[in-house]
Amino acid sequence: MKYVRITLIFISIILAFSCSSDDSTNTDYLTEDELYFPPINSDIWETMSIEDLGWNIDAFPTLLEFLENSDTKSFIILYNGKIVNESYFNSTTRTSNNPWFSAGKTLTAFMIGLAQENGLLNINESSSNYLGNGWSSLAIEQENMITVKNHITMTTGLDYTSGLYCTDSDCLTFLEDPNAFWYYHNAPYTLTQSIMSGALNSDFDSYFNSELKNKIGMQGSWVQVGYNKFYFSNARSMARFGLLCLNEGTWDGEPVLGDTSYFSEMTNTSQNLNLAYGYLWWLNGKSSYMLPGSTNVFTGKLIPNAPDDLIAGLGANDQKLYVVPSKKLVIIRMGNDGGEGQLGPSGYDNLLWEKLDNLIN
């Protein structure tokens, strides 16, 4: 099995980000009054200590050593929304911006739900309704069979051997009917932002900024890199989004995504081919899973050492957004490849959760 390690080569990328946040087994989601939400446009973020939680403080140095030695840049643990640990390594600071890579797919999935809630699109309709005809090399009848939902569940049936990232129409060719197989194909995902732009009759970035980013105090920006479009931000912005998802789309009493049915669909098994995949979210605790770059089905949990109810945004070079409702946790890891060299889920997840489990339990 071969996995692609994505390396960005920039001579200069200038990101002028405004920093909105600096210093300072029951699987039901938490009730609003249990969670702390950091204020928007403020440096304040309340903290609590490992000792306060009664965790195993003796396991903490081992975790930090593992993180530093595995080329981590940023690491955050939230419990009930409060910062338990915030660590930066390898010349990174709290204001450093890092790519989410495919962990950013979770942002797009969230935005698709918002657009549907606002009556701008329907995920069960043909994506051609929003992309127009001829966005692929398929016959019109075949193209019209592909729905928005197929794009966000990796079930379009498009031939991945033509190129995982290329979104040109001549790269998007027929392999199988939609829903016939699951394959982690990046190009159909990338088109979801074009689908949204078509539905909005406006640009995706502006809608994202007004409907999500600004409402929860994130900073950052989408950056075009070849065919891909990656989100860059500091670690606290990823933590803010994780906290929003821990509370099922509501921020400090204000619904950002009010469609709880969509949120549930997004964070549960979305098709019967890869049980560990929702709408662009990875799911733990299932009886089997598939991985990027493979057509094999593996038996067992995606991350054996992690809690069963973990949902995750997982990106290349081991970008990790973990949300664990039963533990009231959001955990963020940003940095370089931790050594496993895989897209999305990797052996690094299990190694990291071994250290986290020793700390938390």
Q: Which of 5-19, 145-159, 320-334 has the lowest mean pLDDT?
A: 5-19
pTM comes to 0.91
Residue 342: band (very low, low, confident or very high) from pLDDT cuts 50, 70, 90 = low
* 32 occurs within a structural domain: no
pLDDT, residue 5, reads 38
* 69 occurs within a structural domain: yes
* 1 occurs within a structural domain: no
C-alpha distances in Å from residue 317, one per residue of 101, 161, 348: 8, 22, 10
For residue 288, give the amino acid letter. S
Q: Which residue segment(s) compose the domain that 212 sits in?
A: 42-360
C-alpha distances in Å from residue 74, one per residue of 161, 233, 245: 35, 11, 20
pLDDT, residue 128, reads 98
Residues 6+ apart with CB under 8 A from 180: 155, 157
pLDDT, residue 2, reads 36
Measured CA to CA, the distance from residue 343 to residue 221 in angstroms comes to 22
Measured CA to CA, the distance from residue 169 to residue 166 in angstroms comes to 9
List, for residues 242-287, the tens digit of each pLDDT value: 999 999 999 999 999 999 999 999 999 999 999 999 999 999 999 9
Percent of the chain with pLDDT over 70: 90
Length of the chain: 361
Residue 339: band (very low, low, confident or very high) from pLDDT cuts 50, 70, 90 = confident
Q: Assign 324 to helix, strand or coil.
A: strand
Alpha-helical segments (H) within the chain: 50-53, 60-69, 105-117, 128-131, 140-145, 148-153, 186-200, 204-208, 214-216, 235-246, 260-266, 347-360
DSSP conformation class of 213: I
Checking if the pLDDT of 298 tops 70, the result is yes
Checking if the pLDDT of 208 tops 70, the result is yes
State both tokens at 203.
């640009």
Checking if the pLDDT of 223 tops 70, the result is yes
SS3 content of the chain, % helix, strand, coil (to 5): 35, 15, 50
- Report the CATH number that the domain containing residue 101 is assigned in CATH: 3.40.710.10
List, for residues 66-82, the tens digit of each pLDDT value: 999 999 999 999 999 99
Measured CA to CA, the distance from residue 120 to residue 63 in angstroms comes to 45
Q: Is 21 exposed, middle or buried (0-12, 13-18, 19+ CB in 10 A)?
A: buried
Q: Of 257, 314, 262, which is closest to residue 283 (Cα–Cα)?
A: 314
* 51 occurs within a structural domain: yes
* 293 occurs within a structural domain: yes
DSSP conformation class of 28: P
* 5 occurs within a structural domain: no
Q: Could you tell me if residue 89 is left (phi over 0), alpha (psi between -120 and 50 degrees) or otherwise beta?
A: beta
List, for residues 162-206, the tens digit of each pLDDT value: 889 999 999 999 999 999 999 999 999 999 999 999 999 999 999
pLDDT, residue 33, reads 53
Mean pLDDT across 214-219: 98
Q: Which of 27-36, 293-302, 321-330 has the lowest mean pLDDT?
A: 27-36
Checking if the pLDDT of 155 tops 50, the result is yes
State both tokens at 304.
């054996």
* 31 occurs within a structural domain: no
Compute the C-alpha angle 44/46/47, nearest 5°: 135
* 106 occurs within a structural domain: yes
Sole residue written with tokens 């069960």: 124
Contact between 152 and 279 under an 8 Å Cβ cutoff? The reply is yes
Mean pLDDT across 15-37: 51
Residues 6+ apart with CB under 8 A from 286: 269, 275, 276, 301, 302
List, for residues 94-121, the tens digit of each pLDDT value: 999 999 999 999 999 999 999 999 999 9
Residue 361: band (very low, low, confident or very high) from pLDDT cuts 50, 70, 90 = confident
pLDDT, residue 233, reads 98
Residue 19: band (very low, low, confident or very high) from pLDDT cuts 50, 70, 90 = very low
Q: How many domains does the chain fold into?
A: 1
State both tokens at 95.
């204001």
SS3 string of 62-121? HHHHHHHHCCEEEEEEEECCEEEEEEECCCCCCCCCEECHHHHHHHHHHHHHHHHHCCCC
Q: Of 297, 323, 291, 320, which is closest to residue 308 (Cα–Cα)?
A: 323
Mean pLDDT across 4-32: 39
